[in-house]
């Protein structure tokens, strides 16, 4: 049971992500954008975040996206290179002096507090990534000559422009032809396209996808699947989970090529306190796996998760479970109450969902979109380790 991943030694890269990376500007702490006289500078983007996190966890990763040749573009390049992310296939456009032809997308994000939700304001029109076109990336060289075990992309990249929709299809087909595992995060963004556009664009792409990621709103808005008892836009606190599972099984039946379907389950009590868990569905065995402490039936995070910055939590889940499959992770018992993770061979689905849930939770404990988590920290939490001070 598991994904048919290419051997490590046959590829130069374990994972490549395709997507836009932006510069994020945030007031310190939980300050408001309109009253800010100082902004923190962060880097992030839905697909980019996965490659960056996996590089920090020790895998060989690359990122493909668009940049402008100016100092703001260099912020992103420097950030990627600092973690060892391969950027040799990035498409770089010349800077025209004002950003009329292409620019780096910005987002202004304020971190919520109590009943006040976090807010993201996009300023990403005419970005370099949205200007990318089919034929600009040598997929044959990347997937067949260099070799890539896993491609990750998603709806945020696909919806940026008519040309990125074509480029996403080109990349997915090239990866599928090369035998590279493909994961796709549905990630519906109503500010960037309509549900009708999303459905018309995405349905033809699913045949090339192995791992599909999304919550109930994503499946409704991007693929047109309704969840009984849940209205579009409702939070998962009111979602009947068993009905969600029925919907997932309908998706798997309609698209038998899908091997894994994953989602995070978030219950929002207030901006700084969320219920947090996740589910992975293995189509081969028609089995759902939900995060749990090893050796018990108790979820990893029973108490509400304290949130420092929730942006990127879903990407943290995606990168965590992808790490599990790519590294062949399996939870091992040393002695009662003491567990460790072994690597190599076929991954265990339970360990993969535990890694994904733990990584997503830990990512939300720090500021910024991208992971600051190390592998030992992740292993400790995924195997049920507590938050007692480490000396």
* Tokens representing residue 68 in the block: 């402008």
Summarize the confidence of residues 343-365 as an average pLDDT. 96
Asked if the structure places residue 387 within a domain, the reply is no
- How do residues 222-274 score in pLDDT, each as one tens digit? 999 988 766 554 554 555 788 889 999 999 999 999 999 999 988 899 999 99
Q: What is the pLDDT of residues 174-218, one digit of tens each?
A: 999 999 999 999 999 998 999 999 999 999 999 999 999 998 889
> What pLDDT is attached to residue 238?
54
Query: Would you place residue 337 in the very low, low, confident or very high pLDDT band (cuts 50, 70, 90)?
Result: low
pLDDT confidence of residue 191: 87
- Asked if residue 1 belongs to a domain, the reply is no
CATH number at residue 119: 3.40.1190.20
pLDDT digits (tens, 9 = 90+) for 49-104: 999 999 999 999 999 999 999 999 999 999 999 999 999 999 999 999 999 999 99
Residues 6+ apart with CB under 8 A from 142: 16, 62, 64, 89, 148, 174
Structure confidence by residue, pLDDT tens digits, 106-121: 999 999 999 999 999 9
DSSP one-letter code for 5: P
- 262: region left, alpha or beta (phi > 0 left; psi from -120 to 50 alpha): beta
pLDDT of residue 302: 83
In a domain, 334, yes or no: yes
Residue 29 domain-assigned (yes or no): yes
Q: Is 155 helix (H, G, I), strand (E, B) or coil?
A: helix
Residues 120-151 have pLDDT tens digits of: 999 999 999 999 999 999 999 999 999 999 99
Angle at 308 between CA 306 and CA 311, to 5 degrees: 110
Backbone angles phi, psi at 373, to 5 degrees: -95, 140
Burial of 83 (0-12, 13-18, 19+ CB in 10 A): middle
- Rounded to whole angstroms, how far apart are CA atoms 192 and 159? 6
- The C-alpha atoms of residue 325 and residue 59 are separated, in whole angstroms, by 12
Percent of the chain with pLDDT over 90: 84
Secondary structure of 85-96 as H, E, C letters: CECCCCEEECCC
Number of domains in the chain: 1
Within 155-201, strands assigned E span 181-185
Between vectors from CA 11 to CA 8 and to CA 17, what angle results, nearest 5°? 100
What are the backbone angles phi and psi of residue 20, rounded to the nearest 5°? -85, 140
pLDDT score, position 391:
67
**For the chain, give me the number of helices (H) and strands (E)?**
11, 17
Range of the domain at 247: 9-382
Please, is 173 exposed, middle or buried when counting C-beta atoms within 10 Å of its C-beta (0-12, 13-18, 19+)? Answer: middle
Give the pLDDT score at 295.
Answer: 82
Mean predicted lDDT score pLDDT of the chain: 93
pLDDT of residue 335: 67
Type and span of the H or E element at 338: strand 338-342
Residue 4 located in a structural domain: no
The mean per-residue pLDDT over the stretch 30-45 comes to 97
> Residue 3 domain-assigned?
no
Assign 373 a pLDDT band (cuts: 50, 70, 90): very high
Specify the pLDDT at position 367: 96
pTM over 0.85: yes
Residue 389 placed within a domain: no
From 85, 50, 53, 54, select the one nearest 67 (Cα to Cα).
85
């Amino acid at each position: 049971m598991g994904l048919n991943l290419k051997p490590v030694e046959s590829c130069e890269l374990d994972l490549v992500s395709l997507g836009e990376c932006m510069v994020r500007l945030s007031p310190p702490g939980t300050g408001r954008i309109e009253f800010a006289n100082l902004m923190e500078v962060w880097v992030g983007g839905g697909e980019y975040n996965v490659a960056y996190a996996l590089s920090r966890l020790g895998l060989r990763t690359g990122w493909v996206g668009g940049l402008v040749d100016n100092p703001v573009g260099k912020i992103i390049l420097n950030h990627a290179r600092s973690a060892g992310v391969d950027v040799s296939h990035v498409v770089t456009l010349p800077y025209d002096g004002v950003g009329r032809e292409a620019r780096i997308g910005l987002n202004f994000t304020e971190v919520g507090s109590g009943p006040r939700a976090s807010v993201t304001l996009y300023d990403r029109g005419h970005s370099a990534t949205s200007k990318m076109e089919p034929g600009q990336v040598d997929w044959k060289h990347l997937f067949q000559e260099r070799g890539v075990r896993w491609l990750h992309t998603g709806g945020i990249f696909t919806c940026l422009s008519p040309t990125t929709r074509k480029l996403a299809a080109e990349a997915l087909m090239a990866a599928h032809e090369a035998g590279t595992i493909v994961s796709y995060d549905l990630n519906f963004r109503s500010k960037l396209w309509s549900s009708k556009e999303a459905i018309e664009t995405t349905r033809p792409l699913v045949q090339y996808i192995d791992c599909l990621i999304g919550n109930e709103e994503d499946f409704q808005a991007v693929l047109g699947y309704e969840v009984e008892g849940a209205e579009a836009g409702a939070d998962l606190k009111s979602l009947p989970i068993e009905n969600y599972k029925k919907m997932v099984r309908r998706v798997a039946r309609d698209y038998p090529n899908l091997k894994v379907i994953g989602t995070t389950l978030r219950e929002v009590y207030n901006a700084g306190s969320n219920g947090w868990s996740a589910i992975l569905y293995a189509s081969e065995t028609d089995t759902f796996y939900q995060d749990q402490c090893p050796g018990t039936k108790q979820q990893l995070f029973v108490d509400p998760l304290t949130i420092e910055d929730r942006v990127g939590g879903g990407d943290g889940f995606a990168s965590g479970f992808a790490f599990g499959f790519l590294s062949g992770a399996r939870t091992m018992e040393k002695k009662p109450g003491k567990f460790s993770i072994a690597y190599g061979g076929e991954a265990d689905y339970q360990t993969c969902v535990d890694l994904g849930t733990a990584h997503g939770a830990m990512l939300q404990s720090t500021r910024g979109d991208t992971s600051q988590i190390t592998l030992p920290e992740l292993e400790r939490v995924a195997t049920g380790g507590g938050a007692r001070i480490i000396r």
